[in-house]
Amino acid sequence: MTVLYEDNHIIIINKTVSEIVQGDKTGDKPLSEIVKEYLKEKYNKPGNVFCGVTHRLDRPVSGIVIFAKTSKALSRLNEMFKNKQIDKTYWAIVKNMPKEPEGTLRNYLVRNEKQNKSYAYDVEKPNSKLAILHYKLIARSDRYNLLEVGLETGRHHQIRVQLSKMGCPIKGDLKYGFDRSNPDGGISLHARKVSFLHPVSKELIEVTAPLPKDTLWQALEKTIS
């Protein structure tokens, strides 16, 4: 487990593609429990340790996850996420080059619970939710393109389905149109940066998560001007 930032109220982790943030039907140990064990051991705490989940990342996605170490921080962070006061930036490796080097995508997403999948439409549909993201092409290789993505909304599988709808499925994402899986079972989507005012101290917190130890990620990073 890689700790990117920690103080008395929050702890920020760089999640790998194999980890789940919260417990699910797989029964695998979630990252929230791993963080609890880390805190219990580090501070030699007796009894239960508090670790509040403030947001989630899909299992095949890597990068920044923020946990609360106190109930005060948890309630405030929940409110901050709700009010869009936490700025998150993602990097995605996609197969095709977008028609425009940067732009804004607006779609209406419909979630299918049984399939655990979302569908993107250009017009509003019954039970749909508006999804807005901004993207920018920041690096290229012979076969792949690296996009920087910022979200205005936080919908189910939003980045994955909207980039796929644009014709740029994320590398390794079989569910949304990529033709083969990644060797590690993840997809090439990384929660790269986060910026927000600390929920208690009000100081500016800015954290960047190192990229996965993968030759393509490293190669693309080197080409960024």
Q: How many residues does the chain have?
A: 225
Q: Is the pLDDT of residue 18 over 90?
A: no
**Which residue among 58, 142, 184, 214 is the active-site one?**
58
Distance (Å, whole) CA 141 – CA 14: 25
| pLDDT band, very low/low/confident/very high, at 13 (cuts 50, 70, 90) | very high
| pLDDT band, very low/low/confident/very high, at 225 (cuts 50, 70, 90) | low
Q: Is the pLDDT of residue 25 over 80?
A: no
Domains of the chain are 2-222 (3.30.2350.10)
Q: With contact defined as beta carbons under 8 Å apart, do 65 and 17 qualify?
A: no
List CB contacts of 14: < 8 A, sequence separation 6 or more: 2, 3, 4, 62, 63, 64, 209, 210
Q: With contact defined as beta carbons under 8 Å apart, do 133 and 152 qualify?
A: yes
What pTM, to 2 d.p., does this model score?
A: 0.94
Distance (Å, whole) CA 127 – CA 122: 14
179 is catalytic: no
Q: Is the pLDDT of residue 78 over 90?
A: yes
Distance (Å, whole) CA 209 – CA 123: 35
